[in-house]
Amino acid sequence: MFNVYICVGSSCHLKGSYKIIKIFQDLIKQYNLEDKIEIKASFCLGHCTNGVALKLGENFIDNVSITNAKDVFEKQILKEAGVNI
């Protein structure tokens, strides 16, 4: 199981982290990846000034927003998770 940690600390919460979690959950269902990718909430990941932060393995992705969340999921999360769609 590949874990995607999404910051839900104060700054990221205000920038839409819960909406991004919902978008990712919907994409996981759409691609039938419930047994491959899991979304987990995390408190501050230390990248507060750059939009919502994600942690994928040892890598961080900054500046995630509701407008680019699908693109981030399809181009970065799926790649990090080793999933081909």
pTM score, whole prediction: 0.90
- The encoded tokens of residue 45 equal 């990941």
For 27, the domain range is 2-81
14 three-state secondary structure:
helix
**C-alpha angle 3/7/10, rounded to 5°?**
160
Give pLDDT tens digits along the chain (85 positions).
Answer: 999 999 999 888 889 999 999 999 999 999 999 999 999 999 888 877 878 999 998 899 999 999 999 999 999 999 988 888 7
Instruction: Please report the sign of the dihedral spanned by the C-alpha atoms of residue 36, residue 54, residue 68, residue 84.
Output: negative
Q: Distance between CA 9 and CA 74 in Å, rounded?
A: 24
CATH number of the domain within which 47 lies: 3.40.30.10
CA 80 to chain centre: 11
The structural domain count of the chain equals 1
